[in-house]
Amino acid sequence: MAPSTSHASVLLIATILALLLAATPITCWRPWPHLKPNSSDLLYDSSKKFEGSSEFVHLRYHMGPVLTGNITVHTIWYGRWEKSQKKIIREFINSISTVNARPPSVSGWWRTVQLYTDQTGANISHTVQLGQEKNDRFYSHGKSLTRLSIQSVIKSAVTAKSKPLPTNPKNGLYLLLTSDDVYVQDFCGQVCGFHYFTFPSIVGYTLPYAWVGNSEKLCPGVCAYPFSVPKYIPGLKALKSPNGDVGVDGMISVIAHEIAELATNPLVNAWYAGQDPSFPVEIADLCEGIYGTGGGGSYTGQMLLDHDGATYNMNGIRRKFLVQWVWNHFVSYCTGPNALDQ
């Protein structure tokens, strides 16, 4: 039986939607994608210089804009957030541009990002500051978000009747943070966070944004590694997190990853590697799971131990954080402020 016209048009719309979604390059992150269950990688020889170095990585500039003006991060707190959790995240973002933290510092980590330039030779901005915030306490779009409904959450925040977030397509970054009881499409299986830009047809503006989720209840062994570890690896122990909150301490590195990529590739047409622009490999993707000297494969590299037994690799204002390294295109490997050989 031939489908009726209404079925056919529904089918057609579904097909177009599927094509649109499939063609949407979403740039994603997992802390350690390289490790297979029972991998012999666990026995990685840490004396080898690794840190992602590879002659096969061709990170190129594709002529699009990068964020060279003072970067302002507007945060949307979706769901239930404790004051203490917000504080850790705000202090991390404020640490990016501070000059007062003891080395190895978060601002030292940002220095690798600042090496990237646009067509005119202007560097990524030194300044990353907190902008306005919006609370979406009552889950305006439910407890299960898709990539498209995330844009609707951002639209609600910038068009709210009371205290809307300012729209700043040039230097604004929109950071949507979901609480530990919110599921987002592909969360845990493939991604812990991603970044892209909003569509004018949905939001009214083209705004670079990122989503990062609190994985504490859903999959901490995947997205808050190494402060939680997957159960399928026998003998692997979780490390103590620096701020006493496994979910949020795990989010910090994902937030850092996304901010670094948003700064260097905000419209997904600037700095990335790979032949296929719908699957760009960006400056933080190249260094997933690498936190110190010798890192690579499944080895995190050399990190630091705090007096209370917590593991970290850089200092911020008042707090310590564990943050993955980013790709340095001058030396063609991942670099970070706690490198032992600099």
Ligand X SMILES: *[C@@H]1O[C@H](CO)[C@@H](O)[C@H](O)[C@H]1NC(C)=O
CB of 214 to ligand X, least distance (A): 28
Count CB neighbours of 26 within 10 A. 18
Q: Tokens 């905000």 appear where? A: 266
Name the residue nearer to ligand X (CB basis): 189 or 234.
234
39 touches ligand X by CB under 6 A: no
CB of 94 to ligand X, least distance (A): 12
> Among residues 127, 144, 206, 342, which is the contact residue for ligand X, using CB under 6 A?
127
Name the residue nearer to ligand X (CB basis): 113 or 176.
113
Q: Which 102-121 residues touch ligand X, going by CB under 6 A?
A: 114-115, 117
15 touches ligand X by CB under 6 A: no
309 touches ligand X by CB under 6 A: no
Q: Which 136-165 residues touch ligand X, going by CB under 6 A?
A: none
Separation of alpha carbons 337 and 313, rounded Å = 8
Name the residue nearer to ligand X (CB basis): 246 or 270.
270
The structure tokens listed for 243 are 């701020």
> Among residues 9, 15, 38, 54, which is the contact residue for ligand X, using CB under 6 A?
38
Q: Tokens 């844009």 appear where? A: 151
Phi then psi for residue 74, to 5 deg, are -100, 125
CB of 35 to ligand X, least distance (A): 12
Name the residue nearer to ligand X (CB basis): 70 or 119.
70
Name the residue nearer to ligand X (CB basis): 138 or 330.
330
234 touches ligand X by CB under 6 A: yes
Separation of alpha carbons 125 and 97, rounded Å = 9
Using CB under 6 A, count the residues that bind ligand X.
9
Name the residue nearer to ligand X (CB basis): 19 or 122.
122
70 touches ligand X by CB under 6 A: yes
β-strand partners of 202: none
> Among residues 1, 4, 37, 275, which is the contact residue for ligand X, using CB under 6 A?
37
CB of 305 to ligand X, least distance (A): 29
CB of 229 to ligand X, least distance (A): 14
Name the residue nearer to ligand X (CB basis): 235 or 309.
235
Asked if residues 29 and 258 have their Cβ atoms less than 8 Å apart, the reply is yes
Name the residue nearer to ligand X (CB basis): 131 or 226.
131
Summarize as ranges the residues that interact with ligand X (CB under 6 A): 37-38, 70, 114-115, 117, 123, 127, 234
